[in-house]
Structure 1
Amino acid sequence: MSIPTQPLSLTINGENKGPYDVPEGLMMIDFLHEYLDLTGSRLGCGQGICHACVVIVDKPDGTSEEMRTCITGAHFFKGKIVRTVEGHAQADEKSGEPVPSSVQQAFMEHYSFQCGYCTPGFVNAATIFIEKLRRQPVAREDLESEIEKALDSHICRCTGYVRYYEAVRDLALATPGLVKGAAK
């Protein structure tokens, strides 16, 4: 008896991938790890609760959403545009060395993570949040509650919440045009 497969093609971190013959019930996190060697998304709880495994799915309307990969089959992503934590850093024009995204840099500057297991999920959630603020700036008095909404579903077992939240707040306030009424 063999495991039934279906072809899977999608775009990951700006590159078209596939088609791959992928078992029908394979979870996306296993596809990322085993087929693409993209191991940044973490298998934390395996039940979709901790959000360490999330990736970003970009929609045709220019918005994005988090998608848990430990409970979502790989074939759900067929034809979709996906960003993993490995896709955030960009190559420096001169040296070619990777340069962290503004979210990654803010997390490093605030020492936001301890063990780092939850960090990929927080990076993806914060990236979506910052991109949302570029489209729809928030009033200064609403910033804290909006950060809480954006990051609330993510679990950090090392208690790094305060530093994650501070990093996102400071990045939003320091980036022109994201917060209405922010001091310049």
Structure 2
Amino acid sequence: MEFEINGARRTVEVDDDPAAVEVVRDRLGLTGTKLVCSGGVCGACTIQVDGEPRVSCLTPAVVLAGRRVTTVEGLSGHPVMRAFAGEDALQCGYCTPGFVVEAAAFLERWRAAHGRTRPGREVIADALAGHLCRCGAYEGIFRAVAAACAGDYDTEPTGREAPAVPRAEAPEKADGSARYTTDLRPEGLLEG
């Protein structure tokens, strides 16, 4: 099967009918997409397929054929990522990439319809309803999405004007590059 992922054409064998999350994480190594519930409930595995968010644990990999797929790694430098880091919209960060992918799609829809007006909490909550944060960072998440939609994070400050983020590890958690035990596959690893 051939498809585009984060701007690159890829070919992957899918004879065994895997879920998209398996292809993205295990075969392509894009571990920002997290497998948590395997039932489409938590949103941690959210990817965009042709710009539309989908839970990749319930999406058969064959659906990706010929499509444009975006994972959190493909959103590098996106205002939503900067907003999540800047507004302390995370704690452990495991669910954060899924929220970022969904929120980035929401930001595009919101701006197309409303420009840079700040969406209300209820609108954001509705847009992110398919996502769970077990740490309970929702207030920061709502604040981050509203700020990103309003344009507060459109440009990346550099040098002396760059504000410190509340958590030193926040940028890596927001962009999916933070590594968790489920992301590590040492040589010779056995699973039971």
Q: State the TM-score, normalizing by the size of structure 1.
A: 0.77
Say yes or no: does 1:29 pair with 2:21.
yes
Deviation of residue 146 (structure 1)?
A: 2.0
- State the secondary structure of the residue aligned to 1:47: coil
- State the secondary structure of the residue aligned to 1:29: helix
| Matched AA of 1:54 | T
> Does structure 1 conserve the Cα–Cα contact (< 8 Å) formed by 2:118 and 2:147?
no
**2:61 match:** 74
Paired residues for 1:21-170 under 5 Å: 21-58=13-50, 64-89=51-76, 100-137=77-114, 143-170=120-147
| Matched AA of 2:59 | T
CA distance in 1, matches of 2:123, 2:116: 10
Percent identical pairs in the alignment equals 35
| Matched AA of 1:125 | E
Q: If you compute each CA radius of gyration, which structure gives the higher value, 1 or 2?
A: 1
> Does structure 1 conserve the Cα–Cα contact (< 8 Å) formed by 2:103 and 2:145?
yes
CA 1:70/1:150 → structure 2, altered by over 3 Å: closer, same or farther?
Answer: same
RMSD of aligned residue pairs (Cα, Å): 1.9
CA 1:42/1:141 → structure 2, altered by over 3 Å: closer, same or farther?
Answer: closer
Q: State the TM-score, normalizing by the size of structure 2.
A: 0.74
Of Structure 1 and Structure 2, the greater strand share is in: 1
Match of 1:12 among 5, 9, 15: 5
Q: Gaps (5+ residues) in structure 2?
A: 154-192
1:112-155 deviation per Cα after TM superposition (whole angstroms, max 9, x unaligned): 11111110110011100111122111795863332122111100
